Structure 1
Amino acid sequence: MAQSARIHRLSALAWGAAAICILPMAAVAIAALTGGIGTLSGLAGSVLPRYAGTTALLVVIVGIGTALIGTSTAWLVTATRFPGRRLFEIALALPLTFPAYVLAYAYTDLLDHPGWVQSTLRDLTGWGPRDYWFPEIRSLGGAAAMLILVLYPYVYLLARAAFLRQSATAYIAARTLGQGPWGAFFRVSVPVARPAIAGGVLLALMETLADYGTVAYFGVQTFATGIYVSWFGLFDRGAAAQLALCLLVVALTFATLERRQRRHLRHHDAGRRFERMEPVQLRGRAALGAIAICGLPVFFGFLLPTGILLTLASGASQLLFTPRYLGFLQHSLTLASMAALLTVAAAITLGFNARLHPTKTSQSALRIAGIGYAVPGGVIAVGLLFPFAAFDNALDRFMEANFGIDTGLLITGSIWLMIMAYMVRFMAVALNTYESGLATVNPNMDAVARTLGHGPAPMLRRIHVPILQPSILTALLIVFVDVMKELPATLILRPFNYDTLAVQAHRLASDERLAEAAVPSLVIGAVGLIPVAILCWSIGREGRPMRNAIDAAQAQAQRTT
């Protein structure tokens, strides 16, 4: 009886976490549908077509760019050998440490009209501002370039992992049939890795939809900027909810596509027969070409922005260790730490419940909780403000009428609503990391624990958590850094005078104080190096067992013959 009660409590906790994740989306839908057709008609006749067209074009450009860069670089470092390959294996993931809006600040200082490039060009040629044409960085193309540079690592990491898992049998067969290295790559390796590549591209596209800082700074009008302008600029909450609903539908469509692609990943395993894929040794121009293809994204996505930001920060009046900046750092670390702990705890509850009870109900809770990653932070913020503002106002009226107490905004005026938004936004990241580790725990261990009389809590504490410490730590670090970089939800939900490093960087850059904005931007990027290093190490480690198995199989075959 006690065992049954504990199981029911675990299921209740899991569904409570799932309910929190679905709440903002349901609130946005209700607010949009009850906002009146007049607002929607006005939007359709004015800004909605522009928002839709700009967002669609941005998504197409980013999708193509991330697919080309991520796939080509993953193949080069996996299947070829050239000078610096081992260095590029890690360096190609480094741009993921920066949010796109930080790159936007750096490249604006470099390429804008008063920047170093155009100033040097005018000094060397004697041209005036009207005597030459130069690409405008503050444009749709500029925003797409920034997003491509920081998001292609999603495709690179997933594609590299897929290439490492591939057996060389089909590739070798294609080579024996007369295909060259690149022909076999396009006809065999890419189709086999297609689900992983498509999954990485879709993740990049969901991040593109969620981006606010880059497009707002460059003046590109998308759904994300429209939500913020409608809420804070026009004070039209109905319009903000309806724009959020439009963006929510698109984001959930991408999420559905990504889940379907990821579902097919298991169909492309290496099989029982392992064959070593002999790497192609590149020399001469081919080696220089590989270095250029792998080096350019690293240079433009990490090295050059870091150098620009360091130069700006060295001449800035913003010092990191002043009480004001220490306050920003404390706010960021507090929010990121609390959000990471609560999010990973909820992910463990959801994953462990689905492990103990692999029913459709528990799987539904998992799917519901994982939707939030596809939903932009601005949509989540708007969705949480509607119900909790109504609750705070109703509670305040009740307490004022009955007890003469003014409660104010208990929830919407606190950091807890921000933490709830982060939990909704990044639950899928924690869930995927935890579930990937949970798959390595033999189910027989759970059965043995039950026969020894252990309930769910002791089983989780004594068996699962010690085994899954690397996965749990990775989930904590990734969520921590994602919260440090998150901007739209923080801008909308933060209490008065509770700014973070991301908000401070955005505010200073919006005021064209790029030198001062470089200081918080560098701190955000420095924190992001930790999970990127862990991801690269884990992917490289994942390919090691297969290589060991290949060597063992070939050695056994040689001994047999």
Structure 2
Amino acid sequence: MSGSTTEKAGRSGLALRLSGALHRRLTLPPRPAGGVWFFVILAIAALVLAPVLALLWQASRGSVTLWSHLMGSVLPHALGQTLILMGGVGVLVALSGTLLAWAVTAWDFRGRRLLEWGLLLPLAVPTYIVAYAYLDLLHPIGPVQEFLRQMLGYTSPRQFRLPDLRSMPGAIVLLSLVLFPYVYLPVRAMFMTQAANLLEVSRTLGLSRRQAFWRVAVPSARPAIAVGVSLALMEVLNDIGASEFLGVRSLTISVYTTWVTRSDLPGAAQIALAMLLLVVALVSLERWARRNQRYSVNAQRARMIEPLLIRGPRAWGMFALAALPMVFGFLIPAGYLAAEAVQRFHTAGLSPQLLREAGNSFTISALATLAVLICGVIIACGARLFPSHALQIAQRISGLGYAMPGTVLAIGILTVSAGFDRSLDAAMQSWFGVSTGLLLIGSGMALGYAYLVRFLGIASGSTEAGLTRFPRSYDHAARSMGRSAAGTVFSLHLPLSRSAIAAGGLLVFVDCMKELSATLLLRPLNFETLATHLYGEAARGTYEEASIAALAIVAVGILPVILLARVGGQARRRAS
């Protein structure tokens, strides 16, 4: 009897403990999935979001009089110039990128293999370097116009000169020569995966090959065209060097002059806010344009497009026409820079200042790339290990910086860094009597912070793409064998996605080396990079002094082009 009573008492005590645990579980807030991973990813997303909030705060500090002045005299002209530039570049890159992608996909002619990767080469040349090169080449006393005057029998620029390149049409053409690969690359990938059955059915319905292109191929490639054009227009909005060199007063130039020349940070923040709204409108328009566009191919039954073989004069004519963007967008400016760099090296050699600037560029780009890769891997792997709505939002926030122009980002970064420096300096003086000064801004950490926010989306996106190649059952198997989350990342995620991570790191490093707008505004005193050195020499009109720096940037920019060409070759072999 006593044993039965003891057993009942034990059961009742166990029931009470279970009910108490259940009550605590129901009353206490649930722990977020992922624990430490969740808070680390949240902190990284907060670092990305902080400059945007700081920009809004800085813009709100401007007076009503300042707003009226900007709305009446600065914004209308700058916004009009920016919209005209973006509209012209958008039309040209959409036409040229789509037509070139179709030419190397639907036709087989001599030199086609060369064009497949050669049309990617303009990506290696930043827009400000192309403008810098052509301004010197086409100068009234430059080599091109001097040669034309000698051929025509003229002796001075007053007798004969070409139209000035410093104009809106000149800026539209030069920027389009550099940015058309943003459309060419995704559209060509779309054409390569397009089923030949669709074109054959259209031909049986009486359409010519040209009509099939406009009525079947182009509509199915509209999502890729929209994505490529939006990326190109974001680069136009981010550009500062080419627009200034070519005399186009865009919103980016207005931000720079308002901040640096007039020392009006709230006014610059207000113009930057208008740029941010333009980016949001651009992204929204791109998504709205392809909201109902869906395209899929049955991999088991579909046949890829078989290029039509052409030979003779028609083939040579098509090669010459398709090669023009490659010639004018890469070969001419790169050849000019190489010739000028060799001449400059023979006359003056490599100056210690240039070597120091190259070291600055490499060091800060390498450190920023390392930080970006670490944060990108944490975000991608954490979101995969602990899928939740909150982490998905944090992952999307972490990619916002890539859509923000460098000048917009620089104002937000400056506000955040200055606030941190002031708070830290006040605390150190109060506690220890030591002044830390401008720790972030003066050391270059603010510039590294800008690189982190700007290019974090590349690292997290490439890592996520690498992780999607293997199923989640691998993760479950690793966790069931006792691996922790960190152990799963180091033993499984990193080895399987190392090629994607390396590719993302290469892209980030090259983008850091080429970045001008944020570097120009956030670099410490007496700290110059190859990009800022080139900008300074071009602004002074001493183009020959910056040829070696420009050629070095182009040489580094070729590396991701080689990577893209290899990836494209592998995709073509898989498709065939």
Shorter chain as denominator, the TM-score bin is over 0.9
Please name the residue that 1:54 is paired with.
81
Residue 376 of structure 1 pairs with residue 405 of structure 2 = yes
Matched, 1:249 2:277: yes
Aligned partners of 1:265 and 1:441: how far apart in 2?
Answer: 27
Where 2:311 maps in the other structure, the secondary structure is coil
1:436 aligned to 451, 455, 465, which one? 465
Match of residue 205, structure 1, among 217, 233, 245:
233
Give the number of equivalent residue pairs: 545
- Residue in 1 that maps onto 2:370: 341
Distance 1:16 1:270 in 2: 42
CA distance in structure 2 between the partners assigned to 1:373 and 1:249 by the alignment: 15
Task: Decide whether the 8 Å contact of 2:193 with 2:304 is kept in 1.
Answer: no
Is the partner of 1:200 in helix, strand or coil?
helix
Greater shift, 429-438 or 295-304, is seen at: 429-438
What corresponds to 1:425 in structure 2?
A: 454
Asked if structure 2 preserves the Cα contact closer than 8 Å seen for 1:165 and 1:270, the reply is: no
Q: 1:320 to 1:86 in 2, by over 3 A?
A: farther
Establish whether residue 96 from structure 1 lines up as the match of residue 123 from structure 2: yes
* Residue in structure 2 matched with residue 551 of structure 1 by the alignment: none
| Residue number in structure 2 paired with 1:108 | 135
Aligned with 2:555 (options 526, 534, 552): 526
User: Matched residues in 2 for 1:484 and 1:319: separation?
Assistant: 24
- Matched with 1:553 is none
Check the 8 A contact 1:312/1:514 in 2, yes or no. no
Would the alpha carbon gap of residues 439 and 543 (structure 1) be closer, same or farther in structure 2, given more than 3 Å must change? farther
Return the letter of the residue paired with 1:150.
V
CA contact (8 A) 1:196 1:261 kept: no
**In the aligned structure 1, how far is the partner of 2:315 from the partner of 2:263?**
57
After superposition, where does 1:40-189 map in structure 2 within 5 Å?
Answer: 40-123=67-150, 124-126=152-154, 128-132=156-160, 134-189=162-217
Q: Distance in 1 between matches of 2:108 and 2:405?
A: 40
The answer to whether the aligner puts 1:316 opposite 2:344 as a matched pair is: yes
SS in 1 for 2:441: coil
Take 1:369 and 1:289, find their aligned partners in 2: how far apart are those partners? 47
Distance 1:528 1:254 in 2: 27
How far apart are residue 453 of structure 1 and its match? 1.3
Shifted more, 432-441 versus 50-59: the winner is 432-441
Q: Which aligned pairs between 1:405-554 and structure 2 lie closer than 5 A?
A: 405-547=434-576
State how far apart, in whole Å, the 1-side matches of 2:528 and 2:519 are: 8
Contact 2:34 2:386 in 1 (8 A): no
**C-alpha separation in 1, matches of 2:65 and 2:77:** 18
User: Counterpart amino acid of 1:522?
Assistant: L
Alignment-derived partner of residue 554 in structure 1: none
Which residue of the partner structure matches residue 194 of structure 1? Answer: 222
Letter in 1 for 2:342: S
Give the CA deviation at 1:444: 1.1
Aligned residue in 2 for 1:357: 386
1:260 and 1:360 map into 2 onto residues whose CA distance is 23
Q: 1:366 — aligned with what?
A: 395
8 Å contact from structure 1 (residues 170, 188) kept in 2: yes
1:394 positional shift = 3.4
Q: CA deviation at 1:262?
A: 8.0
Aligned AA (2:81)? T
Task: State how far apart, in whole Å, the 2-side matches of 1:320 and 1:256 are.
Answer: 50
- Residues 149, 160 of structure 2: 8 Å contact kept: no
CA distance in 1, matches of 2:87, 2:33: 49
Letter in 2 for 1:100: T
| Change in 2 beyond 3 A, CA 1:448/1:264 | farther
Rounded to whole Å, the distance in 1 between the matches of 2:426 and 2:39 is 31
> Does the 8 A contact of 1:369 with 1:428 survive in 2?
yes
For residues 540 and 436 of structure 1, the distance between their equivalents in structure 2, rounded to whole angstroms, comes to 18
Instruction: Give 1:357 shift.
Output: 2.6
- Percent identity among equivalent residues? 41
Normalised by the length of structure 2, the TM-score is 0.90
Kindly indicate whether the alpha-carbon contact (under 8 Å) linking 2:154 and 2:160 is maintained by their aligned counterparts in 1: no
Distance 1:53 1:209 in 2: 13
* Alpha-carbon shift at residue 59 of structure 1 (Å): 0.2
1:371-410 correspondence runs (5 A): 371-401=400-430, 403-410=432-439
- Correspondence for 1:219 among 247, 250, 255: 247
Provide the C-alpha distance between the structure 1 equivalents of 2:513 and 2:519, rounded to a whole number of angstroms.
Answer: 10
- Name the residue aligned to 2:358: 329
Note if contact 2:503-2:563 (Cα within 8 Å) is conserved in structure 1: yes
The answer to whether the Cα contact below 8 Å between 1:169 and 1:274 also exists between their aligned partners in 2 is yes
Return 236-245 or 6-15, whichever deviates more. 6-15
Q: Is the 8 A contact 1:254 1:374 kept in 2?
A: no
Choose the corresponding residue for 1:15, options 29, 42, 45.
Answer: 42
Distance in structure 2 (CA, Å) of the matches to 1:476 and 1:260:
31
RMSD: 2.1
Greater CA deviation, 277-286 or 95-104? 277-286
Q: Give secondary structure in 2 for the equivalent of 1:315.
A: helix
Once the two structures are TM-superposed, the CA of residue 314 in structure 1 deviates from its matched residue by 2.4
SS of residue in 2 equivalent to 1:178: coil
Structure 2 CA distance for partners of 1:236 and 1:345, relative to 1, 3 Å: same
Task: For 1:104 and 1:508, locate their aligned partners in 2 and report how far apart those are by CA, in whole Å.
Answer: 13
Does residue 1:282 correspond to 2:298, yes or no? no
Distance 1:127 1:448 in 2: 80
Structure 1 residues 263 and 22: alpha-carbon distance in aligned structure 2, compared to 1, 3 A threshold: farther
Task: Write the letter of the residue equivalent to 1:309.
Answer: L
Residue 232 of structure 1: SS of its match in structure 2? Answer: helix
C-alpha separation in 2, matches of 1:166 and 1:375: 33
For the Cα contact (< 8 Å) 1:371–1:428, is it kept in 2? yes
CA deviations over 1:235-271 (Å, ceiling 9, x no partner)? 0011110011000111122234456678878643345
Secondary structure, in 3 states, of the residue corresponding to 1:46?
Answer: helix
Q: 1:397 to 1:447 in 2, by over 3 A?
A: closer
Structure 2: state its 5+ residue gaps: 1-30
* Alpha-carbon distance in structure 2 between the residues aligned to 1:205 and 1:307: 27
- Change in Cα spacing, 1:510 to 1:433, as seen in structure 2 (3 Å) is same
Change (3 A) 1:347 1:264: farther
Give the 3-state SS of the residue equivalent to 2:180 in structure 1.
helix
Q: Secondary structure at the match of 2:562?
A: helix
Residues 65-89 of structure 1, C-alpha deviations (whole Å, 9 max, x = no match): 1111111111111121011000111
Contact 1:24 1:384 (C-alpha < 8 Å) held by counterparts: yes
**Scaled by the length of structure 1, what TM-score is found?**
0.93
Q: 2:220 touches 2:295 (CA, 8 Å); kept in 1?
A: no
Rounded to whole Å, the distance in 1 between the matches of 2:483 and 2:293 is 35
Equivalent in the alignment of 2:7 = none
Q: CA deviation at 1:280?
A: 1.1
